[in-house]
Amino acid sequence: MSRALLICSCILALGMIAVYRVRCFKLKEPFDYEVMIGTIFQASGLVGGFALVTSVFVEEMKQYLVGLDLYVFVGGLSVFAVSVHGFYKGALQGLRRGAPE
């Protein structure tokens, strides 16, 4: 991951963790470190995904995409899984629901 995307991910993660911490404080819930670690990964995914989408429209963004193969794989896998699920629910299960008994 390029340094620019890493810095953006860190800043976003710190902001998201601060929001979570304030929420925990207001609701008097314990701070969950698993949620914190997940938030760091989610912030990284948000920045990486945004960079990938933006690179389609802004040619200069492609210089920041070094080392984002993991995001390309995860994004492709996500599209694949959602497409298979959509086909199963719409075409296969949908036919069974409409079939006469």
The residue extents of the domains of the chain are 1-66, 68-101
Mean pLDDT check: name the lowest of 24-28, 61-65, 75-79, 85-89.
61-65
- 8 Å CB contact between 71 and 49: yes
Q: Is the pTM of this model over 0.75?
A: no
Average of per-residue pLDDT across 44-60: 87
**Band of pLDDT at residue 91, cut at 50, 70 and 90:** confident
Helix (H) or strand (E) holding 2: none
**Band of pLDDT at residue 15, cut at 50, 70 and 90:** very high
Between these two residues, 1 and 82, which has the higher pLDDT value?
A: 82
Residue at token pair 């993660």: 13
